[in-house]
């Protein structure tokens, strides 16, 4: 049987995502920064366990504080503790993402309506690997989820997209939720597009 020509490319993508996840866990961003600079894009920022006061937008601060309250004495709250109504001040910017196959991929269980409007696509029900953004942006997003899957702590990222007309930056926070065995079973994610002034974009429907 002939070799599958797509197999080397898939292997290379998987290898880069895994390497970037390990780099994020270790706080080493050089390789990631180089990939973004190659596309003439400002390298992203990544911070573990951010201070709420350091975050730029209110939806991000609100959800982080709410997640911390749910934690109680644990390192991460259980999936069952999440109440969508309690997230109302941030709804539209909230995503729920589920691990697939022990971190082989991740599926958008919920893709916030404001995120879908700004990005021009609704990824609800689809995999992170199926996102239509640039390869390095998808790999960075994927690596962020994989990193939090392996190190279940809050991960904050900030990046400025290349050649964007109106959305000047994206501020994202990935928060782990665990099952009854203490394994990450879902991510509570806040992803906020910002304008030039650093204000959360809220499109009119």
Q: How high is the pLDDT of residue 164?
A: 58
User: What topology is assigned to 7-194 in CATH?
Assistant: Beta-Lactamase (3.30.450)
Report d(CA 188, CA 60) in Å as an integer: 11
72 backbone φψ class: left, alpha, beta (φ>0; ψ -120 to 50): left
Q: How high is the pLDDT of residue 200?
A: 83
Per-residue pLDDT of the chain (205 residues; tens, 9 = 90+): 344 444 445 678 899 999 999 999 999 999 999 999 877 678 999 999 999 999 999 999 999 999 999 998 778 999 999 998 999 999 999 999 999 999 999 999 999 999 999 888 999 999 999 998 889 999 999 999 999 999 999 999 999 877 656 678 899 999 999 999 999 999 999 999 888 777 888 865 4
User: Where in the chain are the domains?
Assistant: 7-194
Q: 165, 189 in Cβ contact below 8 A?
A: no
Helix (H, G, I), strand (E, B) or coil at 14: helix
Helix (H, G, I), strand (E, B) or coil at 153: coil
Q: How high is the pLDDT of residue 195?
A: 81
92 backbone φψ class: left, alpha, beta (φ>0; ψ -120 to 50): left
pTM of the model: 0.90
Q: Please count the helices (runs of H) and the strands (runs of E) in the chain.
A: 5, 6
Q: What are the backbone angles phi and psi of residue 35, rounded to the nearest 5°?
A: -65, -40
Helix (H, G, I), strand (E, B) or coil at 184: strand
Give the pair of three-digit tokens for residue 50: 């951010």
Q: Which residue in this structure is represented by tokens 């990935």?
A: 174
Q: How high is the pLDDT of residue 166?
A: 67
């Amino acid at each position: 049987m002939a070799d599958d020509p797509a197999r080397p490319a898939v292997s290379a993508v998987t290898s880069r995502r895994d390497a970037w996840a390990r780099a994020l866990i270790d706080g080493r961003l050089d390789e990631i920064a180089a990939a973004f600079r190659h596309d003439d894009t400002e390298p992203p920022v990544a911070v573990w366990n951010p201070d709420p006061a350091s975050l730029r937008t209110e939806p991000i601060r609100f959800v982080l504080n709410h997640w911390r309250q749910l934690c109680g004495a644990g390192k991460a709250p259980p999936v069952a503790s999440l109440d969508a109504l309690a997230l109302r001040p941030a709804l539209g910017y909230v995503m729920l993402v589920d691990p697939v196959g022990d971190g082989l991929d991740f599926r958008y269980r919920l893709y916030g309506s404001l995120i879908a409007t700004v990005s021009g696509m609704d990824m609800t029900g689809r995999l992170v690997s199926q996102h239509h953004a640039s390869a390095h942006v998808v790999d960075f997003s994927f690596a962020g989820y994989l990193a939090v899957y392996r190190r279940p702590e809050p991960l904050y990222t900030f990046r400025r997209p290349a050649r964007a007309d109106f959305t000047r930056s994206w501020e994202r926070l990935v928060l782990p939720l665990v099952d009854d065995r203490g394994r990450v079973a879902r991510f509570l994610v806040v992803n906020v597009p910002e304008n030039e002034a650093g204000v959360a974009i809220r499109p009119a429907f």
